[in-house]
Structure 1
Amino acid sequence: MRCIPFFLKQSALLMLCLLLIACDADQTSGLSGEARAAAQRPSHHRDDGFSNSDGSRVNKPLSELLRWWWSRQAIDLDALVAPDRIKAAWAQMPQAWQAEITNGSTETAGLHRHEVQWLGHATIVLRIGETRILTDPHFSERASPLSWIGPKRLHPVPLTIAELGRIDYVLISHNHYDHLDLPSLRQIAQQHGGPPVMLVPLGVDVWLKEAGFERVLGFDWWEQNRLGDFAFHFVPAHHWSGRGLWDRNKTLWGGWVVDHPSFRFFFAGDTGWSDDVHDIAKRFAPFDLAAIPVGAYEPRWFMANQHINPHEAVRMHQALGKPLSLGIHWGTFQLTDEAYEDPIKDLIAAMKHEAIALDRFRLFVPGQTLRLVPRHQKGN
């Protein structure tokens, strides 16, 4: 029989799940009040918020939340992410995931240097020349509105915000606590030289501006904004939004395409499987790099319509034209029921099943950096 402290801990986590639905409701209320030029609003716009592109919404009734909570009582969740287990998982990662990309060129410095670094979860730093882009920055100890309970970081942040260097653009996929971390954004906004440009979904722009942020741009799906040499496109994902009881689906969610003359990048954000990926590929492929979620997928009966698993991540990789891909949304916070090493094992199995070389879809250890090949150097 499980000990009483464990039961109390699980009960507290259930209460947090309810809190994540019930708290902070006033902070993200309301859509943008700016007039939209379109004579007919897009189909994913509704009177009470937004839906997925197929018209569906990810709405989990309380009964399913309780069923999931009850099923977790038979699982030693702490054992699934024990420190020794994490270290063993990192040690067993294929050598191919650490290999440098070679193209016969020595042009790798200065303005021509492109690289990607994974800092944990959905936070990556993409350097294109002298420009740095940061996705879903999360540097806090917990993915929670509360400092004392909620998903806790499983490894230290490999870089502090002060060590990042200047960030030019921040991309936000949606407003869930593991993707939009307000303390992190506040720190980044204080960087030397002024705040970065923050590119965010509709509704999140209103919330950030009300919170005092400047240089915030809101996007609907398929909207773009050209900033210098970059074109930023916001694209659909199959997910949902909300930080409180009264704001569910009141702000939009999605992914990003970053287009530069020498590099094209896709950031999927947080998503279940949908045909959106085919529409994205049709408009923007080929990509030089794709960041695709591979974690937080068990149990499937509860997670399938909001989080893809590694097998679906490989499907997405294929649908996008098999670009160099980086797995995100794993290994940082214990959000669901798979063991720490499961995304690693399941991704390798899916790639072998599809006869995909392991170095084409990689997982990194926290802080790992990979130098990338600009488009004009490929094939040299």
Structure 2
Amino acid sequence: MIISRRRLLGLVAGAAALIGVPSFWFSRMKTYSGPVSDHFDGLRFFDPDGSPPKSLREVLRWQLGSGRQRTDWPVWVPSPYADTPPARVDGARVRLSFVGHASWLLQTAGLNILIDPVWSERASPVAFAGPKRHNDPGIAFDALPEIDVALVSHGHYDHLDVATLSRLAAKFSPRVVTPLGNDVTMREADGAIRAEAFDWNARVELGPGVAVTLVATRHWSARGLFDRNKALWASFVLETPAGKLYVVCDSGYGDGGHFRRVAAAHGPLRLAILPIGAYEPRWFMRDQHMNPQDAVKALFDCGAAQALAHHHGTFQLTDEAIDAPVIALGEALDEAKVARERFVALKPGQVYEI
């Protein structure tokens, strides 16, 4: 098969957004160094209960294979909602606004917290290729209240968006809490980003009555071909006046052990935010992304009273249709005899309050 240089760069940038395999010239970042642990061998991080990332050969098999079945998304699918958040939310109330993909604004106890903030047009290392937005962020950047903290789960381009973090640093100078090594990426790009890096199981005070614990998740991380797993990845357990919230930004399901361990260590959980998209083809995605059936199992495992869905409908990273995750979530809930109101998929700009 002969493909053009631009097409090749587009494939490379798309893969970079999801699995961190752009061409070598995209990988110039400095990387983490630190003591050996039960999930760091001195050079790379690993999940003792996970799976290694796919090889470049497997990436090319998926991207260029003759049997690939990719459903093209509509060019533009605007959300009918747009949120203008209040300046602050005080007391025991929690206000969650869905920005899109894996980005959220959480307001509680007088704090404004962004999770995996991405306002860029593309989730990609380059501006001209790679996954492009299919709808606007649910909150316009200029409508954001003063941001106190940003939580960034890992280094993939659809979660760690340096351009957005730089804009936030220039306007609000928030703390940025992230797993080990991602702070190196941020500071290399912009020294004004106030990155603080932590290991799994670290608990970080964010304000009166609010803290976050970084917990293991079944995933991996990279920004380029030569830095795979040289920075850590994590999910978040947030302690709020309304209860504990479990935010899973990216994860495969595996045997469900990660979710059961969070339930044992941090339960009871008031709410879980669980990914439901970017899952086809399953032979490639199973170890790093849950499908809706997996997400329903994860809800049972973690025991959260309520769940919200994300990681769908904004950036096309994989092969399923734009509406497939939400449709499949409803079917999975019906099959498991769980009320659909217990696990809700919002559109960008919609708000959920506790």
Q: Normalized against structure 1, the TM-score is what? A: 0.82
Q: Determine if the alignment matches structure 1 residue 221 to structure 2 residue 208.
A: no
CA distance in 2, matches of 1:369, 1:252: 30
The within-5 A match list for 1:15-30 is: 15-16=12-13, 17=15, 20=22, 22-27=24-29, 29-30=30-31
Give the count of matched residue pairs: 337
Residue type of the partner of 1:264? K
CA deviation profile, 1:20-72 (whole Å, cap 9, x unmatched): 25343222x32145xx6xxxx421111221001326422x2232122211247
Name the residue aligned to 2:97.
Answer: 117
Given that 2:148 and 2:175 are in contact with CA atoms closer than 8 Å, whether structure 1 keeps it comes out as yes
Name the residue aligned to 1:13.
Answer: 10
Greater C-alpha Rg = 1
Per the TM alignment, residue 112 of structure 1 is displaced from its structure 2 partner at its CA by 4.1
Residue type of the partner of 1:62? L
CA deviation profile, 1:163-197 (whole Å, cap 9, x unmatched): 11111111111000000001100111122xx4111
CA distance in 1, matches of 2:183, 2:6: 36
Structure 1 residue runs without a partner (length 5+): 92-108, 373-380
Q: Determine if the alignment matches structure 1 residue 259 to structure 2 residue 242.
A: no
Given that 1:234 and 1:256 are in contact with CA atoms closer than 8 Å, whether structure 2 keeps it comes out as yes
Name the residue aligned to 1:205.
Answer: 183
Name the residue aligned to 2:286.
Answer: 304
| Equivalent of residue 248 in structure 2, options 264, 268, 287 | 268
CA distance in 2, matches of 1:49, 1:301: 24
Structure 2 residue runs without a partner (length 5+): 81-88
Given that 1:161 and 1:188 are in contact with CA atoms closer than 8 Å, whether structure 2 keeps it comes out as no
The within-5 A match list for 1:32-47 is: 32=33, 41-47=36-42
Name the residue aligned to 1:96.
Answer: none
Name the Cα RMSD after superposition: 2.5
SS of 2:244's partner is: strand
Given that 1:293 and 1:308 are in contact with CA atoms closer than 8 Å, whether structure 2 keeps it comes out as yes
Given that 1:81 and 1:334 are in contact with CA atoms closer than 8 Å, whether structure 2 keeps it comes out as no
Of 129-138 and 307-316, deviating more is 129-138
SS of 1:31's partner is: coil
| Equivalent of residue 52 in structure 1, options 47, 50, 70 | 47
- In structure 2, the CA distance between the partners of 1:250 and 1:292, relative to structure 1 (3 Å rule), is same
More helix per residue: 1
CA deviation profile, 1:69-107 (whole Å, cap 9, x unmatched): 1247764643x4354xx57xx89xxxxxxxxxxxxxxxx
Name the residue aligned to 1:81.
Answer: 74
CA distance in 1, matches of 2:58, 2:181: 28
Q: Normalized against structure 2, the TM-score is what? A: 0.88
CA distance in 1, matches of 2:260, 2:154: 21
- Give the percent of matched residue pairs that are identical in Structure 1 and Structure 2: 36
